[in-house]
Amino acid sequence: GNSVTQMEGPVTLSEEAFLTINCTYTATGYPSLFWYVQYPGEGLQLLLKATKADDKGSNKGFEATYRKETTSFHLEKGSVQVSDSAVYFCALSDYTGGFKTIFGAGTRLFVKA
Amino acid sequence: DADVTQTPRNRITKTGKRIMLECSQTKGHDRMYWYRQDPGLGLRLIYYSFDVKDINKGEISDGYSVSRQAQAKFSLSLESAIPNQTALYFCATSDNQQGPDEKLFFGSGTQLSVL
């Protein structure tokens, strides 16, 4: 079945540091890939997505590239801010899963001033 | 007003009690979902509904039931609550026109504690 594995947290960085959160997936079809973000006390919201191999999703300075050869979708940001402190979830959806979205375990990010 | 509204926001109940969590949406979406979030496990799908007459089990449906009262309303029930159902519960919706690109819209969650 489909699955998503992402790096365990928490990740603690200083402001303006470079961020990478690793995500790999297993899927029988050709999934769409997503990163969702959850700020404290809120529901998840879509951060970015990519729908086919080599696509790059980007939003708010975050980027992730769909790598089919390594089945990966790592999240990166060049310079994090305190306001980026949140939990980040990698996810996938494809037709073999009936278009249901499968989530990774989440990675908590703390950014210190 | 929020597009996806969950009630209550917090609930404490006792083992064996029946409890209902409610979700309503104003986005006009056909698809609705219930997930639970546990630390270290991410979000796991409990039930989902692709339209008013469609109900499907997710990966962890045991101990739960749902009702899709209308396009805009999707309720989750715990018939006899147990402590390991203590979790943060999320309702979500999506537009069935999006196919595999579907973006989920989440409510703010219901924190349920079963004592």
Mean pLDDT by 10 residues, chain B (115 residues): 89 97 95 92 91 92 96 96 96 77 88 96
As a whole number of angstroms, the distance between CA A73 and CA A66 comes to: 5
For residue B103, the model assigns a pLDDT of: 86
For residue B48, the model assigns a pLDDT of: 93
For residue A101, the model assigns a pLDDT of: 87
Residues of B in Cβ contact (< 8 Å) with A51: 100-101
Cβ distance A75 to B78 under 8 Å? no
For residue A67, the model assigns a pLDDT of: 96
Residue A38: partners with Cβ closer than 8 Å, 6 or more residues away: A44, A45, A86, A87, A88, A89, A106
As a whole number of angstroms, the distance between CA B109 and CA A56 comes to: 30
At residue B84, φ and ψ (nearest 5 deg) are -80, 5
At A83, is the secondary structure helix, strand, or coil?
helix
- In whole angstroms, how large is the CA radius of gyration of chain B? 13
For residue B96, the model assigns a pLDDT of: 67
B41 touches chain A (CB under 8 A): yes
CB atoms within 10 A of CB B89: 23
Residue A91: closest CA among A39, A20, A21, A42? A21
At A48, is the secondary structure helix, strand, or coil?
strand
pLDDT in tens, A50-108: 999 999 999 999 999 999 999 999 999 999 999 999 999 999 987 765 667 889 999 99
Q: For tokens 């597009």, name the residue.
A: B3
CB atoms within 10 A of CB A108: 15
The answer to whether A101 contacts B102, with C-beta atoms less than 8 Å apart, is yes
The answer to whether A32 contacts B41, with C-beta atoms less than 8 Å apart, is no
Taking CA–CA distances from A35, the nearest residue in chain B reads B103
For residue A98, the model assigns a pLDDT of: 66
Say how far residue A89 (Cα) sits from the centre of its chain.
5
Residue A2: pLDDT band (50, 70, 90) is confident
As a whole number of angstroms, the distance between CA B89 and CA B105 comes to: 14
For residue B40, the model assigns a pLDDT of: 81
